[in-house]
Structure 1
Amino acid sequence: MLTDTPVIHPQPRRSAGRARLGLLVALLAVVAIVAVGIGVRANESKDLKTWTDTQALPSVILVSPVAAAQGAALVLPGRLEAWSRAAIFARVGGYLKSWKADIGAKVKAGQLLAEIDTPEVDQQLLQARADLAAAKANASLSQTSAKRWQAMLASDSVSKQEVDERNGDLAAKQAQVMAAQANVERLTATQGFQRLTAPFDGVVTARSTDVGALINVGSSTSGQELFAVSDVSRLRVYVQVPQSYAPQIKVGTDARLSVPEYPGEPFKATVIASADSVNAASGSTLVQLQVDNPAGRLLPGAYTSVRFDLPVQPNVVRLPASALQFDDRGMRVATLDQHDHVLFKTVTIARDFGDTVEIGSGVTAADRVIDTPPDGLSDNDPVQVSKPAAANTVAEAKPHG
């Protein structure tokens, strides 16, 4: 007999399983949230540490050494001198009879400049000629006597001693003739100095005498300079070149001259000689240049400015003066290696332009140089590179007119 038995379903077990599952999911969510929070805090802490470490590093600005595109210009003072200058002194005393050329006059070689009246020399020459005539007469008489005594020696009328005495007297008289002749020639040459002439083609640059002036025999160390004649068709230029630049200024090097009387007009000159020695007092080498002066525009004795265009030095670079640091180790600059660590290098200055300097040795164009390095930097210190702020362009107000 069939009976109706109710079916019992396990509802409570399923509800308990779902509850446990929900609790597990909630727990996992909490764990995930906590893990994410921890991770975020860790990242934030790491970022904060990184930012703090970064802020602790010194910030530096880099500059690049610039190789010179052209050689430097060396400008030095110089003086102009005549190619040839002759001071005319008197070689005979007397009074100035006349002068024929004044300052600024162009003269030719051998042209008469002045005449000197020399009465004493004229009288001395007359006396010397008279002495020469007397010496010749005495020599002629002595020669005749010597010949006669030589003839009598053959007949034993005279002794050999007497003949020798006559021959000796003849030799002495002939020597007196030669001495008198030399004295006449000397006075004749001295009388020729009555005429003062130009030694070469040039210009009379000095005249310090006048008609009637007493003239004494003079020289470069004593006496009065009567005239000066200069060859100004070309001039010599003398320049003292500093020792550091002397090897670059060689014979044949071109230069440009400028003088105050012709502003903005250069004159070409060429190095023709060098002293090849250094003056211990000035530390420079004397260099001589030649400049053509066909029109006579340049004046001897004038001041000039000499400009040498030096060749480009392969190892010379230019840096701002603010990149230099001077301490007990000498002149140095701070550079960065490939890991942005500081590396100091000792340098030498070739030329100082004030705001910039030319470095002769120590750095190259490939180095990264720190501009205005902070105090306290040492080798191998890490730094951070910051870009320089853009310079603001300020228009300056210009005055009207």
Structure 2
Amino acid sequence: MSAETNNARTNPSQNAPAHDAPSSEHHESAPEQKPIKAGHAITAVVVLLLVLGILAVVGILPRQHAMAALATHTNEQAAPSVIAIAPKPGQPVQVIILPGNVTSFTDAPIYARTAGYLTKWYFDIGARVKKGALLAEIASPEVDQQLAQAQADLNTAEANANNARIQAGRYKDLVASNAVSQQDTDTFVNQASSTSAQVKSAEANVQRLKELTSFEKIYAPFDGVVTARNVDVGQLIDTGAAKELFHMQAVQTLRVYTNLPSVFSGSIKKGETIDLTLVEHPGQVTHGKLVRTADAIDPVSRTLLVEIDVDNRDGKLLAGSLAQVHFNVNPVGNAFVLPVSALIFRNQGLQVGIVKGDTAHTVPVTIGQDDGRTVQVITGITKDDKVIQDPPDSLIDGEKVHVLTPQEIQTARGGN
């Protein structure tokens, strides 16, 4: 046998069929497929996350955009729509007309100073009475009896004081001759002083009760007219200000109060004649005299309180009326004409609303002529301001507003 044959027999593995080798390699490489499957799974998860992220972005972004658009639309709808107009130049103000309150020169409620029943009244509303006129009478028997008692006590005190004074004088004479002791003399002298003080106390009590009984009659405190009578015969009257019996006003001279804008405070002087008109007397001009001012500007309204006295001895004017007070003033600054509807009446005084951009601001103004339809604004605005024509009552400074365009205004008014 040849050597190759022997080698084949001794080492059979070397003579194994060639196709066995691949089988061995196949068995050894089978475990390497596991990491390949894990990589596929990770890739699938990443792809899935990417898909979910894309879907989330695609779903959230439009929703956020819609919410932002809704918020913007809501804010736009919440902002009030206003019409902004430019102020028209007006003539310089030379006469200013202001409302004035007509009041009586003296005004007094009348109360009872003593309690009792009203027995009679003498004057009703509208009656013109003189100072000291008897208005009513009150029956107060308790006070009358107290006065009688006090008078009796005064008589007793005077008798005791007279007796003590006589005794003191007698003992002063006797002590000089040592007929009585000094101690007894001092006792009677002190008793005389004490009884004299009791007399003064009793006199004061009598005087007090006399004054109370005098209040049983109610008199007019000044010349004037009775404007109210709140009691009738038989009513129980209490002491004090719990119930007003009468009300009186002195109307021979009337006071007219008005508030002059501070910008015109230098145009007036005390003693000058002021014209007044009242709706109760159309076409008639009443003259008054500027008698006094507050001599101080109100820091809230920036106005000067002015008093004008009017002679009313003819009784034509009534207290409580509203007068139009005409002041001749020096021209100050430029005047602008606005519709009355542009004015805002607040506790801070007259204001108007102006627009800067899309923001509203309220500014205080001073007015001149007012014809009921338009008003002249003297201070507070300029020719470049945009004034809100009909400001809402809820308008506040710094509020966002929507200024209507001419097309929107025409549409809102139903125009073509």
Q: Bin the TM-score by the shorter chain.
A: 0.5 to 0.7
Matched, 1:141 2:163: yes
Match of 2:187 in 1: 165
Match of 2:40 in 1: none
Q: How many angstroms apart in 2 are the aligned matches of 1:114 and 1:155?
A: 65
State the Cα distance separating 1:174 from its structure 2 match: 0.8
State the Cα distance separating 1:238 from its structure 2 match: 0.7
**Letter of the structure 2 residue corresponding to residue 182 of structure 1:** A
State the Cα distance separating 1:136 from its structure 2 match: 0.9
User: TM-score w.r.t. structure 2 length?
Assistant: 0.58
Q: How many angstroms apart in 2 are the aligned matches of 1:142 and 1:244?
A: 78
Match of 1:28 in 2: none
Q: How many angstroms apart in 2 are the aligned matches of 1:228 and 1:67?
A: 47
Match of 1:251 in 2: 270
Matched, 1:232 2:251: yes
**Letter of the structure 2 residue corresponding to residue 308 of structure 1:** F
Q: Alpha-carbon deviations, 1:199-229, whole Å to 9, x = none?
A: 22221111111111111222xxx32221122
* Identity score, percent: 40
Match of 1:152 in 2: 174
State the Cα distance separating 1:288 from its structure 2 match: 0.4
Match of 1:294 in 2: 313
Q: How many angstroms apart in 1 are the aligned matches of 2:189 and 2:171?
A: 9
Give matches, 1:2-401, under 5 Å. Answer: 72-218=94-240, 222-312=241-331
Residue 203 of structure 2: SS of its match in structure 1? helix
**Letter of the structure 2 residue corresponding to residue 192 of structure 1:** S
RMSD: 3.2
Change in CA separation of 1:135 and 1:256 when aligned onto 2, cut-off 3 Å = same
Change in CA separation of 1:351 and 1:93 when aligned onto 2, cut-off 3 Å = closer
Gaps spanning 5+ residues in structure 1: where?
A: 1-64, 329-348, 363-368, 370-401
Contact kept? 1:254, 1:308, Cα under 8 Å = no
State the Cα distance separating 1:352 from its structure 2 match: 7.6
State the Cα distance separating 1:67 from its structure 2 match: 8.3
**Letter of the structure 2 residue corresponding to residue 190 of structure 1:** L
Normalized per residue, the structure richer in helix is 2
User: TM-score w.r.t. structure 1 length?
Assistant: 0.60
Q: How many angstroms apart in 2 are the aligned matches of 1:212 and 1:258?
A: 45
**Letter of the structure 1 residue corresponding to residue 204 of structure 2:** A
Q: Alpha-carbon deviations, 1:127-148, whole Å to 9, x = none?
A: 0000001101111221222223
**Letter of the structure 2 residue corresponding to residue 275 of structure 1:** A
Match of 2:70 in 1: none
Q: Alpha-carbon deviations, 1:220-275, whole Å to 9, x = none?
A: xx322211222212200011112212222321233222222222322112211000
Change in CA separation of 1:320 and 1:149 when aligned onto 2, cut-off 3 Å = closer
**Letter of the structure 1 residue corresponding to residue 315 of structure 2:** G
Contact kept? 1:204, 1:228, Cα under 8 Å = yes
Q: How many angstroms apart in 1 are the aligned matches of 2:293 and 2:221?
A: 27
State the Cα distance separating 1:121 from its structure 2 match: 0.9
Q: How many angstroms apart in 2 are the aligned matches of 1:177 and 1:80?
A: 54
Gaps spanning 5+ residues in structure 2: where?
A: 1-88, 339-354, 358-364, 384-416
Q: Alpha-carbon deviations, 1:70-103, whole Å to 9, x = none?
A: x522111111111122322211111111000000
Contact kept? 1:269, 1:290, Cα under 8 Å = yes
State the Cα distance separating 1:318 from its structure 2 match: 6.7
Contact kept? 2:261, 2:366, Cα under 8 Å = no
Match of 2:404 in 1: none
**Letter of the structure 1 residue corresponding to residue 102 of structure 2:** L
Residue 295 of structure 2: SS of its match in structure 1? coil
